Amino acid sequence: QASVVLRTIARDLKLKEFVMNTPWLYQLLLAAAKRYIAGESRGDALDRAAGLQAAGYAISLEYIGENTADLTECRKATDEFLALIRESSQRGLPVHICFDLSHIGLMIDEELALSHAEELAAAARENGQILMISMEESAKTEAIYRLYERLASRHEHVGITVQAHLHRTWDDLPRLLDLPGRIRLVKGAFREEPQVALPRSKELQTRYLELTEKIVQAGHPLSIATHDQQIVQAVREQGFLSESQVELEMLCGVCEEEARMIRDEGVPLRLYVTYGTEWYLYLCHRIAEHPPQLYRALADMLEP
Ligand code: FAD
């Protein structure tokens, strides 16, 4: 129930506008968001990435944003990603650059999103970076796979995020395994109808592990992106993480203690670092997927 309320709040644009235009509220929520985001600027993200890399983690970087319906804003977002690719390379950070196709044009036109993504893929190739496409709600899944297929057939350094909770994922897997790009397996962050997806459950854990096994057995590059310690333990016991192309991936600011322990045990672990001014929705998502985090967010707001 708490999760549903929080997701509804997140989507309320009037409330978002009120927060963004009320300086004291903005500062309070930004204090809570800073647990999950590096900051509002590219420099903040690169500094955090450099620090985490020095501490032994591999890094993903995302400039936060989604559902951008304005052409100029899509162009601006693409330019920001291009600068991120260039500057992370100049600073010697071999990162995965992650983005939502709806941030760079999918809401306007698939061809626009494709041409912007092509620019990112060319820049990533030039700078030796990997590009990872995020997965959005199920209404967009087919369009995202379509664009991924067109991109990945030309760019082997472009990968895709796959949601284990969707019933369709088993059927999608063969077409994804036919392409060289890395697969990032997640449970799925969006609330979906039961005929479309499984809720958080033992059944979802089992499906996640079966999909993992299938991808590993195919010898495909895989990021096991979860904080679910039962899954982490199972993939470690099954030896999946000793495959050279397989790694764990976790969101920065979530399960930090577990992440440190995993890193200290020498398991390959990538942390997902985000930044940007569109942190409001990202904060709501993180709290909604684990409502007890609300107390932590309140504590973060009150901390001097
Ligand atoms: P859960 O069952 O949700 O959580 C397992 C345990 O982890 C919880 O019991 C809790 O202890 C801890 N935990 C989980 N979330 C939190 C939190 N916010 N705060 C504190 N503790 C928490 N989803 C998409 O739909 N599309 C994407 O493109 C996408 N990209 C992602 C990239 C990465 C690197 C990661 C790690 C996740 C991504 N997600 C994406 C989110 C993902 O779908 C899940 O919503 C998220 O990872 C939580 O699921 P879980 O596997 O950790 O399992």
CA of 219 to the centre of ligand 1 (A): 24
Lowest mean pLDDT among 27-31, 125-129, 138-142, 276-280: 27-31
Segment 91-105 shows an average pLDDT of: 97
> Which residues does 289 contact at the CB level (< 8 Å), separation at least 6?
3, 189
What pLDDT is attached to residue 301? 78
What pLDDT is attached to residue 303? 74
What pLDDT is attached to residue 300? 78
What pLDDT is attached to residue 304? 65
**What pLDDT, in 10s, does the model give residues 107-126?**
999 999 999 999 999 999 99
What pLDDT is attached to residue 4? 67
C-beta 186 within 6 A of ligand 1 = yes
> Which residues does 62 contact at the CB level (< 8 Å), separation at least 6?
97, 98, 99, 134, 272, 273, 274, 275
Q: What is the DSSP letter of 138?
A: G
Per DSSP (E only), the strands in the chain are: 58-63, 96-99, 130-133, 158-163, 183-186, 222-225, 246-251, 269-275
CA of 192 to the centre of ligand 1 (A): 15
Gap between the Cα atoms of 103 and 97, Å rounded: 14
In terms of Cβ atoms closer than 10 Å to its own Cβ (0-12, 13-18, 19+), residue 21 is: exposed
Lowest mean pLDDT among 12-21, 121-130, 162-171, 242-251: 12-21
Gap between the Cα atoms of 157 and 180, Å rounded: 8
The pLDDT confidence band at residue 271, using thresholds 50, 70 and 90, is very high
C-beta 102 within 6 A of ligand 1 = no
Specify whether domain 39-275 bears CATH 3.90.1170.50.
no
Segment 149-173 shows an average pLDDT of: 97
Question: Distance between alpha carbon 53 and the CA centroid of its chain, in Å?
Answer: 18
Return the closest-CA partner of residue 73 out of 32, 118, 28, 104: 104
22-36, 186-200, 273-287, range with greatest mean pLDDT: 186-200
C-beta 294 within 6 A of ligand 1 = no
C-beta 293 within 6 A of ligand 1 = yes
C-beta 188 within 6 A of ligand 1 = yes
Q: Is 114:80 a contact under the CB 8 Å cutoff? A: no
Would the ipTM clear 0.85, i.e. be above it?
A: yes
Q: Within 91-139, where are the H helices?
A: 110-126
Most ligand 1 atoms within 8 A of CB, residue of 186, 232, 256, 281 to mutate? 186
In our burial notation (b when 16+ CB lie closer than 10 A, e otherwise), range 275-300 reads bbebbbebbbbbbbbeeebeeebeeb
C-beta 212 within 6 A of ligand 1 = no
**Whose alpha carbon is nearest atom 33 of ligand 1?**
225
**Whats the size of the chain, residue-wise?**
304
The pLDDT confidence band at residue 15, using thresholds 50, 70 and 90, is confident
**What pLDDT, in 10s, does the model give residues 58-94?**
999 999 999 999 999 999 999 999 999 999 999 999 9
Segment 255-271 shows an average pLDDT of: 95
Q: Is 250:225 a contact under the CB 8 Å cutoff? A: yes
C-beta 134 within 6 A of ligand 1 = yes
What pLDDT is attached to residue 244? 87
Hey, is 17 helix, strand or coil? helix
Segment 149-167 shows an average pLDDT of: 97
CA of 111 to the centre of ligand 1 (A): 30
C-beta 300 within 6 A of ligand 1 = no
What pLDDT is attached to residue 3? 66
What pLDDT is attached to residue 2? 62
Instruction: Give the mean pLDDT of the chain.
Output: 93
Most ligand 1 atoms within 8 A of CB, residue of 207, 232, 251 to mutate? 251
CA of 167 to the centre of ligand 1 (A): 18
Does the structure show a pLDDT above 90 at 209?
yes
Does the structure show a pLDDT above 90 at 291?
no
What pLDDT is attached to residue 294? 76
Distances (CA, A) of 223 to 30, 103, 232, 258, 300: 29, 22, 12, 17, 30
Does the structure show a pLDDT above 70 at 9?
no
What pLDDT is attached to residue 23? 85
C-beta 272 within 6 A of ligand 1 = yes
What pLDDT is attached to residue 10? 66
Instruction: Sketch the domain layout of the chain as residue ranges.
Output: 1-37+288-304, 39-275
**Beta partners for residue 224, in sequence order:** 185, 248
Relative to the CA of 134, which ligand 1 atom is closest?
28
